[in-house]
């Protein structure tokens, strides 16, 4: 007997909440080079291990009113918010696509994108566990019938890496010839570091995006990500309040938009092109 859809949606939501809880651990520990398996969760205030009943996604935070049971140290609201967000993503993909390849692939990709956006925004780095691990997940999912073909997945991954490699090479070439100026560049040079325009994490991240969305998805993601990046950072540049740009955040937004409405956007654009021919 098939499982009723509301049950599937609820199960996906519960799974999402648990994965969101694990994502919190990954986002906190991976940039610090710590193991995501051991030791178990502990309070940053008193250092005591957190019991399983105080570690239930979202619910424990509400029950404890955002404080450690032992010492009363405030727990960041980011934890339950991420858990809730990933729960909604996993439930929402099943509502949108029905239980199947599309929902699973979209939920896995979105969860990884969220993790990358968080670490890039906070630490300016994208852990290999997310990018290369996600690339492996994308390639593996392409072997499951129902979605992108294995060939399209490999081509997409190569396209994502190649596209950003070219952008990075061009940017670094311009940097090396003094065609790009700026205060931070001066600081980087004074610190004796080699300046670079894009981090290697961005390249690996786009390879991962390509393994899920194919080469068309890569192009659209890069386009939308750049658009979002310019829209947010141009005002900051004009106000002279510049800081390093966590480009991965914008690529994550671009990939999420591509995932949701990419096909519709491409169809609309092609329609416009065809419509413009007399
Ligand atoms: Zn405590």
How far apart are the C-alpha atoms of 6 and 87, rounded to whole Å?
Answer: 14
pLDDT band at 176 (very low <50, low <70, confident <90, very high): confident
Ligand 1 midpoint to CA 114 (Å): 27
For 177, other C-beta atoms within 10 Å of its C-beta total 8
Span from the CA of 47 to the centroid of ligand 1 (angstroms) = 6
Which residues lie below 8 Å from residue 93, measured CB to CB, with a gap of 6+? Answer: 12, 102, 103, 104, 106, 107, 110
CA of 70 to the centre of ligand 1 (A): 5
Query: In angstroms, how far is CA 246 from the centroid of its own chain?
Result: 12
Residue 249 Cα to ligand 1 midpoint, Å, equals 32
Confidence category of residue 115, pLDDT binned at 50, 70, 90 = very high
Kindly give the distance from the C-alpha atom of residue 75 to the centroid of ligand 1, in angstroms, as a whole number.
Answer: 9
For residue 88, the CA-to-ligand 1 centroid distance in Å is 29
Distance CA 1, CA 64 (A): 40
* The token pair that represents 158 in the structure block: 């190569």
Percentage of the chain lying above the pLDDT 70 cut: 88
Residues 57, 80: Cα–Cα separation, whole Å: 7
Distance 68 CA to ligand 1 centre (A): 5
pLDDT-derived band at 278, boundaries 50, 70, 90: very low
Q: How far is the CA of 209 from the centre of ligand 1 (A)?
A: 39
User: Is it the case that residue 88 has pLDDT exceeding 70?
Assistant: yes
Q: How far apart are CA 134 and CA 253, in angstroms?
A: 16
């Amino acid at each position: 007997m098939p499982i009723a859809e509301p049950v599937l949606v609820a199960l996906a939501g519960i799974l999402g909440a648990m994965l969101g809880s694990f994502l919190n651990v990954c986002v906190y520990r991976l940039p610090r080079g710590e193991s995501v398996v051991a030791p178990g969760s502990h309070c940053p205030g008193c250092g005591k291990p957190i019991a399983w009943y105080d570690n239930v996604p979202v619910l424990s935070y509400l029950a404890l009113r955002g404080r450690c049971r032992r010492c009363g140290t405030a727990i960041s609201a980011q934890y339950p918010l991420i858990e809730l967000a990933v729960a909604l993503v996993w439930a929402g993909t099943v509502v949108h696509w029905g239980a199947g390849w599309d929902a699973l692939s979209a939920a896995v990709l979105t969860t990884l994108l969220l993790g990358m956006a968080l670490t890039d925004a906070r630490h300016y780095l994208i852990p290999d566990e997310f990018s290369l691990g996600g690339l492996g997940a994308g390639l593996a999912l392409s072997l499951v019938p129902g979605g992108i073909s294995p060939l399209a997945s490999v081509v997409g991954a190569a396209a994502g890496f190649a596209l950003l490699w070219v952008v990075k090479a061009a940017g670094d070439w311009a940097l090396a010839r003094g065609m790009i100026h700026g205060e931070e560049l001066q600081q980087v040079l004074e610190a004796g570091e080699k300046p670079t325009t894009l981090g290697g994490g961005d390249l690996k991240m786009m390879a991962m995006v390509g393994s899920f969305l194919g080469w068309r998805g890569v192009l659209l993601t890069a386009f939308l990500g750049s658009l979002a990046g310019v829209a947010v950072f141009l005002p900051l540049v004009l106000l002279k309040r510049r800081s390093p740009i966590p480009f991965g955040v914008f690529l994550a937004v671009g990939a999420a938009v591509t995932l949701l409405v990419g096909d519709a956007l491409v169809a609309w654009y092609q329609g416009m092109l065809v419509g413009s021919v007399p």
